[in-house]
Structure formats: C-alpha cells, structure tokens
Amino acid sequence: MNKARVPRTAFALGSALVLFGALLVLSGCRRAPAALKHVIFFIGDGMSAETEVAASRYLYGRDDGLVWQSLPSRAFVATWDVNVYNSHARSEGRPPYSRSSFTPVLGYDVRKDGPKPPAGPGVTHRFPLGPATDSASAATALATGFKTDSGNIAWLPGDPPEGQLTTIAEELRARTGAGIGVISTVPFDHATPASFVSHNTSRSAYYTGLKGYKGLGIADEIILRTKPDVVIAGGSPLLDNPGFDTKKGYISQSLYHTLQTSRDYLLVERKPGQDGGRAIADGTAQAAREGRKLFGLFGGKGGNFEVPLVEDSPGRPQVTPGSEENPSLAEATEAALGYLARDPDGFFLMIEQGDIDWANHDNDFRAAVGCVADLDGAVRAALAFVDRPGDDIDWTNTVLLVTADHATGGLLLDPARPLGAGDLPRQEARVEEPRTGSDRGPASNGVVIKKPDYASPNVYPDEDISYGTAGHTNELVDLAIMGAAAPAFMKFRGSWYPGSILDNTQINAALREALGLPALGRHPRRPS
C-alpha cells in the first residue's frame, strides 16, 4: 500500500473583453514562447491566514512552518466580487461596479478593514463585517482577470448572452499548445476547478439534466468540449449517487458512460479496497503510454474526498488519510505533474484543496487543520518535483503560487493561550433546540441555529479558539510565490491598495505578463 500521503508528524482592465469565441482566432496565431512555461497554481479554498497559522502551530509548533510561508515572495490579496462592490457602493450612494469605471476601495477599504489579514500573535480583531465573494466569482477573477457576480463561472457580470470569458489556461493552450489540468479534493465541476476550464452563469449547473436543467452542464463542457489534459478530483458516483438520481450528484449516467468508453480519456476511478494513490500513479503511466488524457474520478459521500484526520497528541502531530481509496493531494499533484511535464510546450496546473472551505463553514477546527496539512504535503511535493534534476523544468521557467480564493469562518486564536505542536482544542458538536431570533441557517451537522448572536456549529469550551461566522469573509488572504516570474507579481503591490496588497485580478494580470500573453488593460482610479 502506498504510504506517500499527508505528513503524519511535524516535518512534514480596459474595454477589451476576452471572450470564449476568441479561442478560435487565438489558436491560429501563436506567439513566440515566453521564458515562463510552467504554472503550478495552488488554491486553499476558504483558507484564511488564521487557518494557516492554526495548522502551522499544530504541525510545526510555530506560526510560519507551512512550506509556502517561507517562499521568497509574499503578498496579501483582496478577494471582493461585483456583489460585494455593489453592496458597498449602494451604502455610500455611489454608482454600481463597471469595468470601465470603479474604485477598488469600495471592494476592500484598507483604512477601515486593515492592511493585512487578521492572523498571528496579538490579533484580537475580527474579519470585516458585510458581504463577501463566493468561490465561483473569486476563482473567475483568478482564472480570467475579470470581476463578476457571485455564482458565475468564467462569465461576465450581468449574465449577458455569449458572456463567456476565456480562462488563462484555455488561452495559453490555444496560443502555445501547453497542457492544462485541474486537481481538486471536491467535485471536478465545483466552482473553483470549473472556473478554469468551463463557463456558466450558475455554479450549480453541474450537468445537463440535473433537476431538469436543459443547458450545457459544467461537467458536460469539461468532458466533451474543453477536455483538459488532466483532471483528478471528486464527484465519483460510487458513494455519492450510485443510482444516478437526476435530482443530485455531479455527473450524469450518460457522461459517466462516456468517460468509461472514451478514446480521449483514460478513466481512473475510486474502487472499494483499492489504494487511490497507487491507482492514480499507475493510471498516469498507462495514459502516457497510450497517448490519452487522464481523468481521475474519486471522492466519497457528498462528492468530496474524506478529510485527513488529526489527533490531539501534544508534541507529536498525527495526521492520517481520511480514506486510502482516494489519493492524497500530494499523490494527485505528483501524478499530474509527471503527466504534464512530458509536454514540450509547457503546462498550466491548478490544484485546489477544497475541503478547507467546507471545514471552516462547519467551524470544524480539526478538519481544517487536516486539510491544510494535506495542502502542505502537496506543495512540498510540487517544490521537490521542480527541484528534481535531469529535466528542463526548473525555477527559471516555472512559477508556483499558493493562495486562497477567499477566507471562511472568521477563525480567531486566543493570543493568551496558543496551541503547540500536536495540540488541539477541546471540540464538541453543538446540540441545541431552535430558539427565536434571526435564522442563521442549518449547519452541515443538521443543527439549526436560531438566536440573535452567532453560535458556532462546533463548541470550544476552553475558549482557546473561536469562530465568528459559518460563511465567507471579505478579509485579505495570503499569497506566496516561488520562481523567476515572482517580480511580475510583486510590482502590482500598492498599485490599487496601499501596502503589500494585490487584487485577485492582478494575479491573473501578472501571470499573463510572465507567460507572454497580451494584457487585458484597465487600471481603476485610486482613492485620493
């Protein structure tokens, strides 16, 4: 059985709209390749900076032990979307968002909400109150360079007909022939991976036929049209929807059959009693031999990978896989990189640890720590892959990024009682009867919270940690970069916001510049 898994101990904008149809034109006018050829883009979904600190303390006994926390180039990222902007604009009597005329301070106000994320020693303030982006619009900003409405997958705000936005992965492939891939611990047609390889006005349109949906489903577009070279993610019907009930699930029976019989793809599936890491490694080798694309379909009940388990063991961190039948994120990353590295034109690979968001929605500290540990192992594997001698992939032609699409949960660690390596807070599931007051909605454990003040779905009796919400927040998130292209990112700091802050659309702009793709244009007005 393959044991190369998550660490078990402490070592461990202008007016130019780039639309989807432009791909047909771009594919016929390739440019000379830029120095940057390989992009490894890690996203911790819902990973606040304080979540990073919490996981680092558990794994390494300090606040900055996660591998990306020591990368040479660092910044913070503003994550607001059109919905957030318009809410703030209405409250101040200002015009709604327009790509040709907007002011970043209405998305994130440094003077009011702070020049850095609320994380680390001495932090006692909470996240910014008010609306926040969702994963679809946040990932769209990263993938396309455009702000859009919550719920949109690579589509213009306002949902105009033919509003598809070409993603950077698609454009890079059309111009240079580079390979593209997505990895996620949540279903392959969920918001973050979908925003890099598909287009839809609704993140919930997972497949054609779902609840009577008659349009082109996200899964249908990915499998039948975009056809990434590598997909490794959740969404398997094995445990989630074995009867292919069209009221739920992430893939239709006909699409599933298409994958099973496809000449384009080699399908590697989760199977009972089979080691997922070994299965994806073997499948990668077979797909390469046969000249086929790779599709790894894994996940458990609900479509997601089971989260890694952490134990309260002071001084001796313990992290074990949630299931041996799914690959770890490190194993999936190694497999995808090994496959894509064969492409002489380079590659673009997006890797998401999506279960962090789900854990933070549930205010589940243990699950969040285990998921960040999974991400830490994957980033370590990618760094080692680039450092491996004997090939033409190195830091002169490769960039690795680690960031979050947004923050979730409003985690706050008590600065007076810091947790050490292997140490977890006492955690209990909340059980209470519904009471009068504002309805905060159901938590995933079935608890209905109805009270004037927020009550976490999980209880931490010792009060060494606390959560402020079960939703997303508009706080800044971290960005870490490795590779020769790092200066392309760093020069954007301070251009829209004071201090060491980039906008999420500027990550896309920096990648475009480093890859030799044409700029999208448009610089907004800075506040006076």
Residue 437 has pLDDT above 80, yes or no: no
Q: What is the largest CA-CA distance in the chain?
A: 66
pLDDT tens-place string over residues 506-528? 999 999 999 999 999 655 544 43
What is the 3-class SS of 167-181, one letter each residue? CHHHHHHHHHCCEEE
State how far the alpha carbon of 137 is from the alpha carbons of 7, 133, 145, 401, in Å.
32, 7, 11, 19
- Phi, psi angles (nearest 5°) of residue 291: 65, 35
Nearest to 462 by CA among 429, 409, 417: 417
For residues 151 and 202, the answer to whether their CB atoms sit within 8 Å is: yes
Dist. CA 171–CA 516, nearest whole Å: 11
pLDDT at 239: 95
Domain ranges for the chain, please list them: 38-425+460-515, 426-456
38-425+460-515 has which CATH code? 3.40.720.10
Instruction: Give the residue-averaged pLDDT of 287-293.
Output: 97
Pick the range with the lowest mean pLDDT from 48-62, 351-365, 451-465. Answer: 451-465
Instruction: Give the residue-averaged pLDDT of 73-80.
Output: 98
Instruction: Give the residue-averaged pLDDT of 342-369.
Output: 97
pLDDT at 523: 52
Residue 8 has pLDDT above 70, yes or no: no
In the chain, what percentage of residues exceed pLDDT 90? 82
Residue 54 belongs to what H/E stretch?
helix 49-60
For residues 399 and 486, the answer to whether their CB atoms sit within 8 Å is: yes
Instruction: Compute, in degrees rounded to 10, the torsion defined by CA atoms 375, 380, 386, 390.
Output: -130
Dist. CA 324–CA 326, nearest whole Å: 5
pLDDT at 124: 65
pLDDT band at 287 (very low <50, low <70, confident <90, very high): very high
Q: pLDDT averaged over the chain? A: 89
Dist. CA 270–CA 226, nearest whole Å: 23
pLDDT at 60: 98
Whether the model clears a pTM of 0.85, i.e. scores above it, the answer is yes
pLDDT band at 434 (very low <50, low <70, confident <90, very high): very low
Helix (H, G, I), strand (E, B) or coil at 191: helix
pLDDT band at 30 (very low <50, low <70, confident <90, very high): very low
Instruction: Please name the residues in contact with 120: beta carbons below 8 A apart, sequence gap of 6 or more.
Output: 49, 50, 53, 63
Residue 188 has pLDDT above 50, yes or no: yes
Instruction: Give the residue-averaged pLDDT of 366-395.
Output: 97
Instruction: Give the residue-averaged pLDDT of 335-355.
Output: 98
pLDDT at 123: 73
pLDDT band at 25 (very low <50, low <70, confident <90, very high): very low
pLDDT band at 443 (very low <50, low <70, confident <90, very high): very low
Pick the range with the lowest mean pLDDT from 1-15, 225-239, 296-310. Answer: 1-15
Instruction: Please name the residues in contact with 285: beta carbons below 8 A apart, sequence gap of 6 or more.
Output: none
CA–chain centroid gap for 247, Å, is: 26
pLDDT at 458: 92
Residue 234 belongs to what H/E stretch?
strand 230-234
pLDDT tens-place string over residues 467-503? 999 999 999 999 999 998 999 999 999 999 999 999 9
